Amino acid sequence: MGLGVLIALEGIDGAGKTTLAKRLVRWLRSRGFQARYTFEPTGGPLGRLLKAMALRRGVDPRIEALLFAADRLYHLEKIVKPLLEEGVIVVSDRYLHSSLAYQSVTVGDSRWVEELNRFARRPDLGIYLDVRPSIGLRRIRRRRTRFEREEFLARVRERYLEYVERGELLRIDAEKSIGEVFEDLVKAVSRFLDGGGKAFIRSMGDR
């Protein structure tokens, strides 16, 4: 069987990644594709540790970045690669560019973070669901959010947009209704699977 496809949905908090990723998998299956939903941090031992650490303050961001990279290696070797070898379309709720965006801000050294994740294959189609931090935070109802949190997400968003400019991610406006965003997502995935490939991402990025 031919190799599968890795689709990654990226975005800041409140962009709708999980809802859209699961909905995309259902849509792909309804069209006869083998498709599987997955996510980062994973449900494995390192992923569980990362989720526990997220509740604590004062963790060295370099340690966090190393753990995210290790969890990604686990994700690739134990989940993603075996599925791709079976010809499955893998839809990942967060992937490589989450580290390249978030950890580059927390660590303050984008080159170090990129080198740390050098082992990770790029997604075949990386989609960035773009929302302003104020809207994303409102959606997840973090009423106690401080200005620093919104400022942090604004910096993360800037990093994501840099990867859009490089042609590594396709930007979709995620401030629309969930139905409208899903329509745009389906159009993007359909065109990619029909043979648009990286040239399609570049052309969409010019809009």
pLDDT in tens, 121-170: 999 999 999 999 999 998 887 544 445 589 999 999 999 999 999 999 99
Q: Which of 56, 82, 53, 81 is nearest to 67 (CA)?
A: 53
Q: Where are the domains of the chain?
A: 5-205
Sheet of 5-10, strand order: 35-39, 89-93, 5-10, 125-130, 170-173
The CATH T-level fold of domain 5-205 is: Rossmann fold (3.40.50)
Interval 92-127: pLDDT, tens: 999 999 999 999 999 999 999 999 999 999 999 999
Q: What is the pLDDT at residue 205?
A: 43
The span from the CA of 154 to the CA of 132, in Å, is: 7
Q: What is the pLDDT at residue 54?
A: 75
CB contact set of 30 (below 8 Å; sequence gap of 6+): none
Q: What is the pLDDT at residue 56?
A: 75
Q: What is the pLDDT at residue 207?
A: 40
Mean pLDDT, all residues of the chain: 91
Residue 128 · residue 171 · CB < 8 Å: yes
Interval 161-182: pLDDT, tens: 999 999 999 999 999 999 999 9
The span from the CA of 75 to the CA of 69, in Å, is: 10
Q: What are phi and psi of 134, to 5 degrees?
A: -60, -40
pLDDT band for 201, please (50, 70, 90 cuts). Answer: very low
